[in-house]
Amino acid sequence: MTDKMNFTRADFPPGFAFGVATSAYQIEGHAQGGAGRTHWDDFAATPGNVVRAENGARACDHYTRWPEDLDLIRDAGFDIYRFSASWARVMPEGRGAVNAAGLDFYERLVDGMLARGLKPALTLYHWELPSPLADLGGWRNRDIASWFAEYTEALCRRIGDRLWSVAPVNEPWCVGWLSHFLGQHAPGLRDIRATAHAMHHVGLAHGRAIQVMRGLGMGNLGAVCNFEYALPRTDSPADHAAARLYDGIYNRLFLGAMFRGQYPADVLDGLGPHMPKGWEADMATIAQPLDWLGVNYYTCKRIAHAPGPWPAVSEHLGDLPQTQMGWEICPEGLHHFLHFAQSYANGLPIYVTENGMANPDQPGQPDGARIDYLNQHIAAARRAMAEGVRLEGYIIWSLLDNYEWSLGYEKRFGLVHVDFESLQRQPKASYHALKAALARS
């Protein structure tokens, strides 16, 4: 293990931007500032859903400690801060009345980034759906596209003039499949019809939000999707077919819709019968022209055919070393997806919008495993760039240890250690290594 990055800023083209990412519910402390209840509060309050039933009520208290957190980002030499706004903080009921303190908070935060020379990269939705909208069916209800457009307008009228970039929805696959088919995230459903509806409505909401922001004269609008490298578990034709379908559901569905106005045919074979009526007419709205594509990448999976109803696939682990999440470390997958993203993005800039690892870090103990992980992945990205991929930035998940959803607070992704009792921040060795690599000579 090393304590140094194996690159410096000078190894990248001028203008290549480095950043860190977080999300609202995972760090802010949702109990403060008049935010409304979210479906994650409800999900966490239901026994068995979240480790120790932990929720985002206090989290990292970024709501009050944001100046210190922005200082940490600036002091390490990062260029971009990718953050998200909480829908329920801006609109506690999800629509209608706006929470003035919520808008004030995001304005202070964005102005704080600009004052420190950071580029504010906003995500409008990183999973904390207001509970009153969940009561109406949440992502299953087609009206969510209009509710989301209303929220987008309320927030962007206030801060849209100062944002460097915006993506509507973080990781559409997680909002659709992980939350409605696998049941691992709020609202915890395991229902194919709910999944098909939610996935389609996520795309529709994305398209409507882009339209609203274009209408406000905003630019540099993109999409952030997560990708998982699907490898067949064995050489059998059945496992190859299963891996291909898994790739379709996970990796090709949203890119197909957003960049080509089409869902992949192999995924529609299974999902088609469950789609909302008249979905075809929405594809032009979903495929709004974009300015960039963001790639979130962490791991690969070994996929096997599994007897049972569609999609009849099962996920397995291979022999590669694993992170604290139990995810295999597979930088080859990032190289693959940067080329893959380029094949959809038609010459647009591509960003790695999330990459990083969870590690059982103790304060004061060097997190060499994270430095190795980042070195390997950044090397894979540089290889793709040398082969012609238009990668223009690399954003690390995450600035702080934070609320890792159904896994609670014990999976530590931060470059900065957070003591969840005292809330004290302590930069890890990876933070210092990145700071040295990013220093401008």
Q: Which residues are catalytic?
A: 171, 354
Q: Which is nearer to ligand IFM, 174 or 249 (CB)?
A: 174
Rounded to whole angstroms, the Cα distance separating 59 from 73 reads 19
According to CB under 6 A, which one of 28, 54, 69, 171 is a site residue for ligand IFM? Answer: 171
Peptide bond before 398: cis, by omega within 30 degrees of 0? yes
Q: Is 401 in the site for ligand IFM (CB under 6 A)?
A: no
In this structure, which amino acid lies at residue 199? M
Q: Is 128 in the site for ligand IFM (CB under 6 A)?
A: no
Half-sphere exposure at residue 259, Cβ-oriented, CA atoms within 13 angstroms: 24
x-marked contacts with ligand IFM along 402-431 as a string, rule CB under 6 A = --x--------x------------------
Q: Is 354 in the site for ligand IFM (CB under 6 A)?
A: yes
Buried-exposed string 77-100: b where 16+ CB fall within 10 A, e elsewhere? ebbbbbbbbbbbbbbbbbbeebbe
Q: Is 79 in the site for ligand IFM (CB under 6 A)?
A: no
Q: Which is nearer to ligand IFM, 152 or 299 (CB)?
A: 299
Greatest pairwise CA separation for the chain in angstroms:
59
CB 381 within 8 A of CB 26: no
Residue 291: which of 233, 360, 345 has the closest Cα?
A: 345
Q: Which is nearer to ligand IFM, 178 or 389 (CB)?
A: 178
Q: Which is nearer to ligand IFM, 165 or 296 (CB)?
A: 296
x-marked contacts with ligand IFM along 208-247 as a string, rule CB under 6 A = ----------------------------------------
Who contacts 215 (Cβ-Cβ below 8 Å, separation ≥6)? Answer: none
**Hey, which residues between 275 and 304 contact ligand IFM (CB under 6 A)?**
296
At residue 168, the 3 state secondary structure works out as strand
Minimum separation from the CB atom of position 358 to ligand IFM (A) = 7
Phi, psi of 31 (to 5 degrees): -75, -10
Q: Is 23 in the site for ligand IFM (CB under 6 A)?
A: yes
- Contacts with ligand IFM by CB under 6 A lie at 23, 26, 171, 296, 354, 397, 404, 413
